[in-house]
Homo-oligomer: A and B are copies of this chain.
Amino acid sequence: MTAAGEEPTPSAGELMHALVERLYPLCRSITGDGVRTTLDIVGEYVPLEVHEVPTGTQVLDWTVPQEWNIRDAYIADSAGNRVVDFAASSLHVLGYSVPVSRTMPLSELREHLHTLPDHPTWVPYRTSYYTPEWGFCLAQETLDALPDGEYEVRVDSTLSDGHLTYAEHVVPGQVPDEVIVSCHVCHPSLANDNLAGIAVATFLARALAEETPYYTYRFIYAPGTIGAITWLARNAERIGRVKHGLVLACAGDSGRLTYKRSRRGDAEIDRVMSHVLAASERPHHVAEFTPYGYDERQYCSPGFDLGVGSLSRTPYAGYPEYHTSADNPDFVSPEAMEDTLAVCREAFSLLDRNRRYVNLSPYGEPQLGRRGLYDSLGGRSDAKQAQMAMLWVLSLADGERGLLDVAERSGLPFDSVAGAADALAAAGLIKA
Q: In the docked arrangement, what's the CA distance between A131 and B372, Å? A: 12
Q: In the docked arrangement, what's the CA distance between A370 and B302, Å? A: 20
Q: In the docked arrangement, what's the CA distance between A252 and B292, Å? A: 45
B298 touches A365 (CB 8 A): yes
User: Which of chain B's residues have a CB closer than 8 A to the CB of A397?
Assistant: 302
Q: In the docked arrangement, what's the CA distance between A397 and B302, Å? A: 8
Which of A104-112, A135-143, A355-363 is near enough to bind chain B?
Answer: A355-363
Q: In the docked arrangement, what's the CA distance between A229 and B367, Å? A: 11
Binary contact track A50-82/B, C-beta < 8 Å → 1, others 0: 000000000011100000000000000000000
Q: Does A304 contact B (CB under 8 A)?
A: yes
A301 touches B395 (CB 8 A): yes
Binary contact track A215-245/B, C-beta < 8 Å → 1, others 0: 0000000000100110011000000000000
Q: Does A291 contact B (CB under 8 A)?
A: yes
Q: Which B residue sits closest to A233, measured CB to CB? A: B364
Q: Which chain A residues (367-423) contact chain B, with CB distance < 8 Å?
A: 367, 369-370, 388, 391-392, 394-398, 410
B370 touches A291 (CB 8 A): no
Known contacts: A291-B392, A291-B394, A391-B291. The answer to whether A302 contacts B367 by CB under 8 A is: no
User: Which of chain B's residues have a CB closer than 8 A to the CB of A392?
Assistant: 290-291
Q: In the docked arrangement, what's the CA distance between A69 and B389, Å? A: 35
A229 touches B364 (CB 8 A): yes
B303 touches A365 (CB 8 A): no
A364 touches B291 (CB 8 A): no
Q: In the docked arrangement, what's the CA distance between A95 and B100, Å? A: 91
Q: In the docked arrangement, what's the CA distance between A301 and B370, Å? A: 18
Q: Chain B's nearest CB lies how many Å from the CB of A310?
A: 15
User: Which of chain B's residues have a CB closer than 8 A to the CB of A395?
Assistant: 263, 291, 300-302
User: Which of chain B's residues have a CB closer than 8 A to the CB of A367?
Assistant: 61-62
User: Which of chain B's residues have a CB closer than 8 A to the CB of A388?
Assistant: 290-292
Q: Which B residue sits closest to A370, measured CB to CB? A: B130
Q: In the docked arrangement, what's the CA distance between A316 and B68, Å? A: 72
A62 touches B364 (CB 8 A): yes
User: Which of chain B's residues have a CB closer than 8 A to the CB of A300?
Assistant: 395
Taking Cβ atoms with an 8 Å cutoff, the residues of A that contact B are 60-62, 130-131, 225, 228-229, 232-233, 263, 290-292, 297-298, 300-304, 359, 361-367, 369-370, 388, 391-392, 394-398, 410
- A61-B366, A302-B396, A302-B397 given; 10 more Cβ-contact pairs under 8 Å: A229-B365, A292-B391, A297-B391, A300-B395, A301-B363, A301-B364, A302-B359, A302-B362, A302-B398, A303-B363
11 A-B contact pairs sorted by A residue (CB < 8 Å): A225-B365, A229-B364, A263-B395, A290-B392, A297-B365, A298-B365, A301-B363, A302-B395, A302-B398, A303-B362, A303-B364
- In the A-B complex, the 5 residue pairs with the smallest Cβ-Cβ separation, listed nearest first, are A303-B362, A303-B363, A291-B395, A291-B391, A60-B364
